Structure 1
């Protein structure tokens, strides 16, 4: 995700913070600071007994909210990993967190449980914090009591809010998983997406009329997320039926592992290519990209071998699906992939090749069967 930087890695999952998070943090701190007195009274704590400026408390609570979101997202990711899924990263945004799960666990049941893991974790955390607040009732530490009350309330709210059936939030994903068995994944996503858009419009109206800027932003992201997810699932359904051999370009232009980056740059300019496979002993050992070449100063390219600059690539065969190729390119941020058979280079496939093939297949399916590529009486097999 562009505009994000890594702050940590947990269980092999990169944790990133988007710049929008840094922009919204002072605003949230201000809002929490403004609500400081009311929150203290709700916690049955005298506001004047609390140490520290309300704005400092607001900043601390804003950071605590995003830490709670991080734990919530980790619950999703760890369940996905445990059930055979793949997680690219977790990113904290201005509206919360996003776990990029590049391979979902098999079956709607595991998808539902994975979606449920986040809200359940938040509710359990909230219950523990509030229980600690109750246990501290006789203590004189007003600061601790207030902190535990607020943390508990935030996590309870986070858990319950995410259980709303507003796709692509957790409740919407659970709804989609429940509907998949009857409607198939594409139509279940369409239905859950429409409900999510309905909630987004409701959030937007409440935010506009109530003067809640944050709710308006949430409404926008929920609406756009529902649209993007629906489109992605339709694209996945189409591309899973298309083998790479139908989309690849049978070109075998490549560079040798011992070629210098200066030679590689010359080939790229002459042949108008953004990437070239690297061969050693006739076998593909990686991919050198235009971006990689540009990172090396022109004066040093003659001393750097293509093997040293080559990026690792998965072994993509002509029988692999176009969706797998697109997923690998997106996950590795590569403009193309070499296609190999019996260890030998037989062609390349780019994102443009796949998108062009998808548009043509979508046009063909729409012409034959209607907007969802399913003929009369047909039902998509649940996945």
Structure 2
């Protein structure tokens, strides 16, 4: 998500726009513009009585669609926050919107309700807009009638499409939640992912037969989303069984908080490091990274102390799970994290360390099991 621009913050949730959104916007504007006359006929509105060109209407409707997607994603996020979850951000992309929920509400039931909150909001908005369109039937506000008609059907389509029981749509998450109690989260995710891929193949076949490139794009998005979701849950299941102490590099290399950035830059060059834990009075107080050092002009580095730019880090201990560590590194965009015990640095953990642990755990699980090996390998979470 490094190519996403933050445009707002709502309820503490950063709202970002990915550059791919800007790429697809002209295409959607053209697509909606092409359907302008047919849509006006469906809305029982004379096209010649509408102000503006079809392309301008198409652009407005494309923007309205993404605003509807934003409301849809906010419904997920606000429900998650209300039930004790954590939300990193919401990003609008060419494929729609993505809410990065870093901690799910507890229990499959809450996960299902959180997934349903988005489609329910879209359907509610859609029927509300269509009701306003119906109320304007006797009025001569052709522009308003057309706008409410189109917005209504866009939101109804958005809600119904997301109710399909296929990853990465909300219906797939609801299906996974319903199956989790009986099958476990990993097997339920695999089954929901299989259903998602089946839908993707169906969309792709229909797209090929009809020459509908948009449907082909949707098929690709659904297939990759189903594969990605299955892979992420499997990775979470494996890494939840691995402790940070098994993967960390026992290392006490650190930098004092009153050290200058010039000295830090020299150490990073000579020791070939991308990050160093920052300590003060023997306790870890943050992390200084190569990216942070490069943000300070070279001529000022001798005057800037590390404590002024050190990044806050979570309390990671040898007993923490590898999944918790990987999630924190991804959310904070950090190349590594310090590992502490009783406030004292005992090692560091990098993303490469976690990936190595994941590969070794996958290798272990792929080994043939003997009759004496009766312990479960699949985590129930």
Q: Scaled by the length of structure 1, what TM-score is found?
A: 0.96
CA RMSD of aligned residues (A): 1.5
- The reply to whether residue 77 of structure 1 matches residue 77 of structure 2 is yes
1:80-95 alignment, distance < 5 Å: 80-95=80-95
Question: 2:15 — aligned with what?
Answer: 15
- The reply to whether residue 254 of structure 1 matches residue 261 of structure 2 is no
Quick check: 177-186 or 47-56, which moved more?
47-56
Question: 1:113 — aligned with what?
Answer: 113
8 A Cα contact 2:190 2:230, kept in partner: yes
Question: 1:3 — aligned with what?
Answer: 3
1:15-54 alignment, distance < 5 Å: 15-54=15-54
* Number of residue pairs the alignment of both structures matches: 379
8 A Cα contact 1:277 1:284, kept in partner: yes
Question: 2:176 — aligned with what?
Answer: 176
Q: Name the SS of the counterpart of 2:214 in structure 1.
A: helix
Q: Name the SS of the counterpart of 1:345 in structure 2.
A: strand
Gap runs ≥5 in structure 2: none
- The reply to whether residue 128 of structure 1 matches residue 128 of structure 2 is yes
Q: Name the SS of the counterpart of 1:318 in structure 2.
A: coil
Gap runs ≥5 in structure 1: none
How far is the alpha carbon of 1:305 from its aligned partner? 0.6
Post-superposition Cα deviations, 1:228-256, rounded to whole Å, max 9, x if no partner, equal 11111111111111111111111000000
Question: 1:104 — aligned with what?
Answer: 104
- Once residues 270 and 276 of structure 1 are traced to their aligned partners in structure 2, the CA distance between those partners, rounded to angstroms, is 13
Post-superposition Cα deviations, 1:9-44, rounded to whole Å, max 9, x if no partner, equal 111111111111111111111111111111111111
What stretches of structure 1 move > 3 A for 4+ residues in a row? 375-383
Question: 2:303 — aligned with what?
Answer: 303
1:302-381 alignment, distance < 5 Å: 302-368=302-368, 380=378
Distance of aligned partners of 1:239 and 1:4 in 2 relative to their CA distance in 1, 3 Å threshold: same
- The reply to whether residue 206 of structure 1 matches residue 201 of structure 2 is no
- Once residues 379 and 269 of structure 1 are traced to their aligned partners in structure 2, the CA distance between those partners, rounded to angstroms, is 43
8 A Cα contact 2:237 2:379, kept in partner: no
Post-superposition Cα deviations, 1:140-184, rounded to whole Å, max 9, x if no partner, equal 111111111111010000000110111111111111111111110
8 A Cα contact 1:184 1:379, kept in partner: no
8 A Cα contact 1:129 1:152, kept in partner: yes
